[in-house]
Amino acid sequence: MKRIAICTGGGDCPGLNATIRSVVKSARGTHGWQVFGVIESINGLLSMPPRCRELGLQDVTSILTLGGTIISTSNTGSPFSDAERTQQSIKVLKDNFRNLGLDALIVVGGEGTQSIAALLGEAGVPIIGIPKTIDRDLPGSDETIGFHTAVDVAADAAVRLQTTAESHDRIMILEVMGRHTGYIALHAGLAGAANVILIPEIPFSYDAVIKKIMERKALGRCFSLIVVAEGAYEQGHSPAYQVSVEGRELLGGISSSLSTRLYEATGIQTRVTVLGHTQRGGSPSVYDRNIATAFGCRAVELIKAKRYGRMVVMQQGEIRDIELSSAAEGKFAYVDINNNPYLKSAEAIGTCLGRNLNFSTEDN
Ligand code: F6P
């Protein structure tokens, strides 16, 4: 009988509990293995004694649709921040691993967590990664757990803001998450009928945005809806940061500069909504529940086949696995501004992407 552990790292998102349930049901229920949940990400395996608890089938009953993570998570204070701490952390983790009699560890996380997992894999820890992040910015996977729910929440907010935009003849600005990528803004903006979508991959021109708003006004549509990614920024400038927390710079604030500039330029009343963590909370969408379940089962299959150092991914509609080392810190998957079909469709239906007519992609 194998003994395996699972941890969830980085920011929480909808679908983490669905993943834990899938792993427990297939590993424990189907194969009869013992499963341990590591508390507070990999940190639980760096404490002496380790912080983890056995997860039985009863522990995962009714958690498929539950938001957050029953084994908690962390996205601050990495114990792998420098070479010395990394060596110490690897040693402690390996000791704990041996003392707990573990055969493998499943790590559910985004870019930061998966790069730590890759490092542990290289140090000889039998490890499997499962990609999650609402930002959908992990290279190698077309889907990440949590993204679709975040888009649903943001698209719903966009549709609700249309009401006030139209009733009051206002510019309504919705700022969404996504770090340095624009997937949430693009998908939610398209589904929420935004007139302007601004993403970090296309530094925007105020002229282009103002032109769009004034064209609409000339047609008798004195309202506009703008969906802006938190990482979007004006051409020639840098992204806006709201605070720095324990060494992490948190993006935010672009919507308020947009609001001021657009009101000054158009004279149209402008209001801002920053959606924030509502995008990460609550029940996972049907899509996220199902990929979480499929990813969890694949991770267990990989352990059964002793194929360690792999990350489960979705590619072209198929569940596959790739080298965990392809997830390296600071490597992101960006919206392809030349070939993304949703971006092309948005422009084809007249949505302003903040591109200046004279703006070439080389300037990006
Ligand atoms: O990576 C997920 C994410 O929600 C980003 O979209 C956002 O920039 C960041 O995390 C917020 O982090 P925190 O939860 O620490 O405020």
The answer to whether residue 364 scores a pLDDT higher than 90 is: no
Rounded percentage of the chain residues whose pLDDT exceeds 90: 91
In the reported structure, the alpha carbon of residue 222 is separated from the centroid of ligand 1 by a whole-number distance in angstroms of 34
C-beta of 9 in contact with ligand 1 (< 6 A): no
- What's residue 359's pLDDT? 43
- What's residue 360's pLDDT? 42
How sure is the predictor about 331, in pLDDT bands with cuts at 50, 70 and 90?
confident
Q: What angle do CA 124, 129, 134 make, to 5 degrees?
A: 150
Q: State which ligand 1 atom lies nearest to the alpha carbon of 137.
A: 1
CA-wise closest residue to 19 among 95, 74, 71, 96 = 71
Across residues 133-154, what is the average pLDDT? 97
- What's residue 357's pLDDT? 57
- What's residue 78's pLDDT? 81
**Positive or negative: CA dihedral 332, 337, 340, 343:** positive
Across residues 168-174, what is the average pLDDT? 98
Strand partners, 3: 34
C-beta of 325 in contact with ligand 1 (< 6 A): no
CA-wise closest residue to 155 among 195, 197, 198, 184 = 184
pTM, two decimal places? 0.96
The answer to whether residue 219 scores a pLDDT higher than 90 is: yes
C-beta of 280 in contact with ligand 1 (< 6 A): yes
Which of 72, 133, 151, 177 has most ligand 1 atoms within 8 Å of CB, for mutation? 177
- What's residue 334's pLDDT? 97
Q: What is the pLDDT of residues 257-296, one digit of tens each?
A: 999 999 999 999 999 999 999 999 999 999 999 999 999 9
Contacts 24+ apart (CB under 8 A), 311-317: 311/114, 311/117, 311/128, 311/129, 311/130, 311/131, 311/140, 311/141, 312/128, 312/129, 312/130, 312/131, 313/131, 313/140, 313/141, 313/142, 314/141, 314/142, 314/143, 315/140, 315/141, 315/142, 316/142, 317/142
- What's residue 19's pLDDT? 99
In the reported structure, the alpha carbon of residue 217 is separated from the centroid of ligand 1 by a whole-number distance in angstroms of 35
In the reported structure, the alpha carbon of residue 264 is separated from the centroid of ligand 1 by a whole-number distance in angstroms of 31
Q: State which ligand 1 atom lies nearest to the alpha carbon of 110.
A: 1
C-beta of 132 in contact with ligand 1 (< 6 A): no
Q: Please, what is the average pLDDT of the chain?
A: 95
Q: State which ligand 1 atom lies nearest to the alpha carbon of 277.
A: 4
Q: State which ligand 1 atom lies nearest to the alpha carbon of 250.
A: 8
C-beta of 75 in contact with ligand 1 (< 6 A): yes
DSSP H or E stretch at residue 151: helix 147-168
